[in-house]
Structure 1
């Protein structure tokens, strides 16, 4: 029986790791995936792609397109292959009422302390929710964020795209676990992992195609599954090491610095890489119903 109610906030469609994060959530029996909100760029396209993957897994999830523009109003990075593996995504039904901000705030307000939000894209939707409803930060059970890097000031994509939103989120007082690039890049998925995923029926074949499309984009034959790693910090915390609580400061370029004490944020500092990769594959294969 599901014992964790979760909302996924995602820029699914560019890096394949968002699709894998969705798959891990769908394949985890302890999870009640309440809904999915999309962020950054063509969020309606991202939502339709998410809905297609959910449907291929034989599941039903509310999917709501969210903020297209960032608060920082920087140019949107677009890989160009988003949704291209399907010719009929416009047939997928997505929800526009309520909007993503209202959806997030209403869901969390109805179950204070009961809903986790996993945010694996730029943090625009989460910042909008915090600004729209001051109780959001207090009512959310926990925010699980993929973003930043904490071994250097080099900006990571999610924070670099919207530093203003990231600052609002980390200054909000919400309880947060954030997993940065210095940890996620220690884990790899390779050809054997993808072959196993492809065995999961039509859903697995679709994910295999998405993974291989991303590999072609970078001319690689492996990838670091940043976002499902972040999901597993919630679902399998024994596979990771964490700091004590502190505060994350965001600079104008999206660089991130953690200071212990004075906040409710902790960062992930270690991952048992082989076991994490195995969990990603196993939960993904278990997703179809």
Structure 2
């Protein structure tokens, strides 16, 4: 059976690391490249974090590309706090990683090139701000037609945010990019929004068992998870849900299907994802993940650290 071809665009914090390790452990998947964007930490740290994850997993042959260092308008100053200032729990895991292994090609150019080399075959998984994707579609407006699928972790469904009152972290850091992607990427698009990942959280007991695996990967995850914020309702590996959906088609068991957009002007709602439930905007429909097969998801999570 031919492997699924993935391109992965990340702002590598702890949850991106978890998602990357999940994909690396999946025998049915081949990662053609990893593109980096600012978000959970600075662009330089993101690149170092990705290189460190590949080093831990003994997969340094995978090409890594440096991309956008700020939002399209450059008006938002990220606060690097959720996973520590370096994105990996301030553990120093990436402090000694050099940037020499980075490809010379810019991430946006790499996205366009690689998709054009594999027309109709690539699933693009985006787990950070969508800046690189927005720039790529402006370089090549036909890009979405050449993708097999797009998987996004971002946005929200009910107007409650985790960065502002009404906006989810990834969309808020570059609302213009999110709007461009949701409007111009007309390929089949699957979104793991904030409410979906919260409603499908894993137990704290699972988290404890998961990070105490004795493998090198398990020990690495335990070290970088010191600042992982466990919610009252459990453990949420945000980005891993989008990655899991890209790896196994049936892991998400139910979807909503609506047109969506992003608010850019509201005092409180800038960056909020808007659901067009009555089809008033006449936009193409996306698949909004609703329920997850948690048993299968847990198996992918466990395999990531083995």
- Using structure 2 for the length normalisation, give the TM-score: 0.84
State yes or no: 1:143 paired with 2:157. Answer: no
Q: CA separation of 1:200/1:108 partners in 2, compared to 1, >3 Å: closer, same or farther? A: farther
Structure with the larger helix share: 1
Cα pair distance change 1:112/1:250, threshold 3 Å? same
Match of 1:231 among 205, 227, 243: 243
8 Å contact 1:43–1:68 — kept in the other structure?
yes
Q: Partner residue of 1:182?
A: 195
Q: Deviation of residue 88 (structure 1)? A: 4.1
The alpha-carbon distance between structure 1 residues 107 and 194, as it changes in their structure 2 partners (threshold 3 A), is: farther
Uncovered stretches (5+) of structure 2, i.e. residues with no partner: 161-165, 265-269
Specify the alignment match of 2:68 in structure 1.
67
Measured after TM superposition, the shift of residue 72 of structure 1 is 3.4
Cα separation, 2, equivalents of 1:168 and 1:53: 30
Map of 2:137 onto structure 1: 130
User: Residues 188, 46 of structure 1: CA spacing in aligned structure 2 closer, same or farther, 3 A cutoff?
Assistant: same
Q: Which runs of 5+ in 1 are unaligned?
A: none
Moved over 4 A (4+): 218-222
Contact 2:49 2:94 in 1 (8 A): no
Distance (Å, rounded) in 2 between the aligned partners of 1:181 and 1:52: 27
Counterpart residue number, 2:179 = 167
After TM superposition, give the deviation of residue 137 of structure 1 in Å: 1.3
Give 1:55 deviation, angstroms.
1.4
Q: State which of 78, 84, 103 in structure 1 corresponds to 2:80.
A: 78
The CA deviation string for residues 32-64 of structure 1, in whole angstroms up to 9 with x for no partner, is 011111111521221111111111111131111
Instruction: Pick one of 261, 267, 270 that aligns with 2:288.
Output: 267
What is the TM-score normalised by the length of structure 1? 0.88
The CA deviation at 1:191 is 4.8
Change (3 A) 1:285 1:96: closer
For the Cα contact (< 8 Å) 1:199–1:205, is it kept in 2? yes
Counterparts in 2 of 1:92-131, with a 5 A limit?
Answer: 93-131=100-138
Question: Which residue is equivalent to 1:28?
Answer: 26
- What is the distance in 2 between the residues matched to 1:72 and 1:279? 40
Specify the SS of the correspondent of 1:90. coil
Instruction: Give the match's secondary structure for 1:247.
Output: strand
Which secondary structure does the structure 2 equivalent of 1:243 belong to?
strand
Once the two structures are TM-superposed, the CA of residue 201 in structure 1 deviates from its matched residue by 2.1
Contact 2:256-2:289 at 8 Å conserved across structures = yes
CA contact (8 A) 2:9 2:124 kept: yes
> Aligned ranges for residues 184-203 of structure 1 at < 5 Å?
184-186=197-199, 187-188=201-202, 190-199=204-213, 201-203=215-217
Residues 212-240 of structure 1, C-alpha deviation per residue, up to 9 Å, x if partnerless? Answer: 2324xx79895311110111122233232
